[in-house]
Structure 1
Amino acid sequence: VLKAIQKYHSIMKIFARICSTIFHPLIIPTAGIFISLFFSYMSLLGDQYILTYTLLVALFTILFPCIGVLMLYKMKLITSVGLVNREERTLPYIIFLVCYVACAVYLWLAGLRGIQFGFVVGGIVALICDLIINRWWKISVHMTAIGGMTGLVFIMSYLQYIMYTDYMFYLQIGTILASGCLGTSRILLKRHTLGQVISGFANGFIWICISCYIFLLITLI
């Protein structure tokens, strides 16, 4: 029985690591931009348009931040690229912020000033909150990211008149399930407490909803 329990626990940890990797905070922004383009009226512009903007956003939110973290690791300013230690997260978070601000500027200049721009700006505000809170408490950035994704999907569902609503229900269910799996994974891996997981999710969800709604309204005025 003990061996069976240990095997089950080992399998669950593997699942938790996979889940944490798939829904990594650096991947979520690019996925969010793709969803906001593919499941909206902007999909009428064609797949090449969507792919181009998605890849360009990936440069700012995945590639450049990864390069920055690797440079910090090579310079021995952090001990792990996974940013396990709370005290070592300040510099990487600042790098992420710079990259996200650059991404927001790019989207604005490219003419994507609605829900896509709001998604990135909301992410910037949420990350600033994470940066400040992290000085004293290890709030979950993983959950901030997935919370932001969930907020994006819910605000898209609310604004049904510009979205393909046939898919919105499934996206809502998918993001809720993903959030639950990710939160459980972070707790199982002992990276965060329940409070840190919930607060991280709320941080991302609230700011993304507010920001997306505001900037979408601005574009419609």
Structure 2
Amino acid sequence: MATALSLAFHPLLVPSYLFYVVCYQLPGVVAQPAVADRWIVLAVVFGFTFLLPALGTGALYWFGRLDSLLLRERAQRPLPLLLAAISFAGAAFLLHQPPFSPLLGRMMLGMTLAVLLTLFISLRWKISAHGVGVGGSFGLFLLLHLTNAAGWAGLWWLLAAALLALAVLSARLTLDAHTPAQAWAGLGLGISVVIGLVLGVASV
């Protein structure tokens, strides 16, 4: 079960889940593009946040730059995280263009920032990338709930995100992939990026 949770909610898959929920499960949160065209958003997100980073990591492994695709060792993480950050930045650039709603671009910008911070921290310490992913998810739904942008549906997604965060952190600890400090630090970083980005935008 712990392995299944870790795989199902891999940090590279979480962005696709979040954009699906925002685009299709929370009516009124996203104005543009129209519902019929939102598959384009999901295609961009899935391609740039999962396919390209996964292929890049696979290539690094193929050419002997990585010992394992699991990236359990801190020293193995910088190059894959750098590739992911570049790819995430490409998605953020595309989603900042018309006709996409501003929220979509800001979500992707926040995810890019989270990957960059994870990269920098990983140069010295093995912070939990899974924790960052579920922390950012919880932070996003908390923001949507506090601003009442998603109505009652947003509350249920917030509760689901909270339970998921606890389950994923528990899974990472069960697998001995991280210490409790690394897991909770990842969760805190994910939440902090969302709050920091919101405060930064509000102050502009």
Q: Normalization by structure 2: what TM-score?
A: 0.91
**Which of 125, 129, 142 is 1:137 aligned to?**
125
Residues 132-175 of structure 1 deviation map (CA, whole Å, 9 limit, x = unaligned): 11112110001101111111111111121xx3312111101100
> What pairs up with 1:1-221 in 2 under 5 angstroms?
15-38=1-24, 39-41=26-28, 42=30, 46-112=34-100, 114-160=102-148, 163-212=149-198, 214-215=200-201
Which is worse superposed, 206-215 or 89-98? 206-215
Runs of 4+, deviation exceeding 4 Å: 43-46, 212-215
Aligned-residue CA RMSD (Å):
1.9
For 1:137 and 1:84, locate their aligned partners in 2 and report how far apart those are by CA, in whole Å: 12
Question: Contact 1:20–1:186 at 8 Å: present in 2 too?
Answer: yes
Counterpart contact for 1:16–1:188, Cα < 8 Å:
yes
Question: What's the offset of the Cα at 1:73?
Answer: 0.6
Gaps of 5+ in 1: 1-14
2:33 and 2:99 in contact (8 A); partners too: no
Is the CA contact 2:131–2:186 (under 8 Å) kept in the aligned structure 1? yes
**Higher RCO (C-alpha 8 Å, min separation 6):** 1
The answer for the alignment partner of 1:10 in structure 2 is: none
Partner Cα distance (2:84, 2:50) in 1: 9
Structure 1 residue 188 displacement after superposition: 0.4
> Counterpart of 1:5?
none
Change over 3 Å in CA distance of 1:170–1:90 after alignment to 2? same
Aligned equivalents of 1:149 and 1:66: distance in 2?
A: 21
Amino acid at match of 1:36: V
* TM-score of the pair, normalised by structure 1: 0.85
Aligned residues: 202
Instruction: Report deviation, 1:32.
Output: 1.6
CA distance in 2, matches of 1:159, 1:51: 26
Distance (Å, rounded) in 1 between the aligned partners of 2:124 and 2:40 = 40
Give CA deviations for 1:2-50 in whole Å, capped at 9, x if unaligned: xxxxxxxxxxxxx000010111100111112222223142368643222
Query: Distance in 1 between the 2:99 and 2:35 partners?
Result: 18
| Structure 1 SS opposite 2:177 | coil
Native 8 Å contact 1:117 1:212 kept in 2: no
**How much does 1:51 deviate?**
2.1
Contact 1:43/1:50 (CA < 8 Å) preserved in 2?
no
More helix by share: 1
Q: Tell me if the contact between 1:115 and 1:212 (Cα under 8 Å) persists in the aligned partners.
A: no
